[in-house]
Amino acid sequence: AGLKNIATQSNVNPVLRTIQVAFEMRRFAQQQNFGTSEEIIVKIGVHYGNVIAGVIGYHKPQFSLIGDTVNTTSRV
């Protein structure tokens, strides 16, 4: 979702930036509680590659991701 644009602006590798964001999300989730005392457990996977994204459908538009990276991710 535009990671290459972010990388060129801040000179940070887009994959490393994605991993940093994943760790920040995990750290934030560990500080939260669900209900009275249950911890929130977050599992994050990072996959990198080409995808095609867009909205498909006329009567019921839906967002769709297509590509080998998406197929690999869904099977992990």
Could you report the per-residue pLDDT of 23-55, keeping only the tens digit for each? 888 888 888 887 777 888 888 777 777 778 888
The domain tally of the chain equals: 1
Report yes or no on whether pTM surpasses 0.85: no
Query: Which amino acid, 23?
Result: F
8 Å CB contact between 53 and 64: yes
Q: pLDDT class for 5, splitting at 50, 70, 90?
A: low
8 Å CB contact between 44 and 22: yes
**Does 63 fall in a domain?**
yes
Query: pLDDT value at position 32?
Result: 84
Range of the domain at 53: 14-74
What share of the chain has pLDDT > 70, as a percent?
Answer: 79
**Does 70 fall in a domain?**
yes
